[in-house]
Amino acid sequence: MNNHTYGTQGETLAKDYIEKQGFTVIEQNFRYGRYGEIDIIGIKDTLLVFFEVKTRHTLAYGNPSYAITHKKKKALRAVATYFLIQNPHYNSKHYTLRFDCITILGQTIEWIQDIVR
């Protein structure tokens, strides 16, 4: 299985996991030109979360969360800002925004909250 297929399967697992936690997925693979994409955008009550999903077979390249670099965080902020411009009803004081990471290592799923500050 190639990395793209494995990553897509990881995003499907993450989506199912997020929904089991009570979130509604409102977007998947939301792109903003050259800045990149946000894997999953979910909402629960007044909490809007931008999820980055990192999937790995093994720890050969380190923990999946190590792939969230400063550059990646900057890109996530840019794409989230674009999402909020396109969806102004979420860009209000009534919503709390957060960036989280879902890591998948084999069959283990970990949810890391508030990865961008």
3-112: which CATH topology? Trna Endonuclease; Chain: A, domain 1 (3.40.1350)
Q: Each residue's pLDDT tens digit in the chain (117 positions)?
A: 656 665 688 899 999 999 999 999 999 999 999 999 999 999 999 999 999 999 887 676 677 777 788 999 999 999 999 999 999 999 999 999 999 999 998 888 999 999 987
Q: What is the distance between the alpha carbons of residues 30 and 109, in angstroms, rounded to a whole number?
A: 22
Q: Which helix (H) or strand (E) holds 79?
A: helix 70-86
Name the phi and psi angles at 57, rounded to 5.
-80, -45
Domain-by-domain residue ranges, the chain?
3-112
Q: The whole model's pTM is what?
A: 0.91
